[in-house]
A and B are shown apart, each in its own frame.
Chain A
Amino acid sequence: RKEVEQDPGPFNVPEGATVAFNCTYSNSASQSFFWYRQDCRKEPKLLMSVYSSGNEDGRFTAQLNRASQYISLLIRDSKLSDSATYLCVVNMYSGGGADGLTFGKGTHLIIQP
């Protein structure tokens, strides 16, 4: 049973284009959602949190759809430096409370010049 699912890609996108990823999660009681970025052979780092009302940080927009249990990330005016793996992260909850962060396998993005 996959708890957080993402399209692994790769997404090959020309520089300057807009690209969007989706992620679905299985636990309807989940409360916290994030996008992390991981560069090749590096550790994951927080890109942005995902709020119920949606949030924007520069060229990046994250949205949450609780009814359909999915999260999205939109990157506008993509740069070569955006090439990375983007990890969808959900804080799962069980009867005992939060269970820690559950990561999707990531979506690999390649921005081409």
Chain B
Amino acid sequence: DAGVIQSPRHEVTEMGQEVTLRCKPISGHDYLFWYRQTMMRGLELLIYFNNNVPIDDSGMPEDRFSAKMPNASFSTLKIQPSEPRDSAVYFCASSLTISNTEAFFGQGTRLTVV
């Protein structure tokens, strides 16, 4: 397996534009997580899915953020409209279970909103 695959690796966009981040989890993993990492706040859990169903989205900062998982092999995180404070590295991770197992991370998407 190629691991968790995220795209794009880098994204630079203007304030107000829509941004869509994509993730392909490891096949067979039932859990998918979206994290955001900044210097100030570290790694923050935004939302996670179990078998394609959103379980906890309490970490999603505001209504401008939305996430979907239409099938077991694909998830998106959308920001609309984007703001400069959304600039961060966004990681997708997947795991077999919710506890006691390793979470495998993608390489991340570095988002810059200007």
Contacts and interface: CB of A to CB of B under 8 A. Distances in A.
A87 B44 CA distance: 12
22 contacts: A31-B99, A34-B102, A43-B91, A43-B105, A43-B106, A43-B107, A44-B105, A46-B102, A46-B103, A87-B43, A91-B99, A99-B56, A100-B31, A100-B56, A100-B98, A101-B45, A103-B35, A103-B45, A104-B42, A105-B42, A105-B43, A106-B42
The SS class assigned to the A binding surface is: strand
Interface of B: 31, 33, 35, 41-43, 45, 48, 56, 91, 98-100, 102-103, 105-108
Contacts of A31: 99-100
Contact of B48 (A32, A42, A100, A104): A100
A27 to B, nearest CB: 13
Given A99-B56, A100-B48, A100-B56, A44 B43 contact: yes
Contact of A98 (B99, B102, B107): B99
A101 B33 contact: yes
A45 interface: yes
Nearest to B6: A43
Contact of A32 (B35, B43, B99, B105): B99
Given A32-B99, A43-B91, A98-B99, 13 more contacts: A32-B100, A43-B107, A43-B108, A45-B105, A49-B100, A97-B98, A99-B56, A100-B31, A100-B33, A100-B45, A100-B56, A103-B45, A104-B42
Nearest to A104: B42
Contacts of A42: 107
Contacts, number: 45
Contacts of B91: 43-44
Nearest to A4: B42
Contacts of B105: 43-45
Instruction: Pick the most buried of A44, A91, A99, A101: most chain B CB atoms within 10 A of its CB.
Output: A101
A95 B94 CA distance: 23
Contacts of B41: 105
A91 B33 contact: no
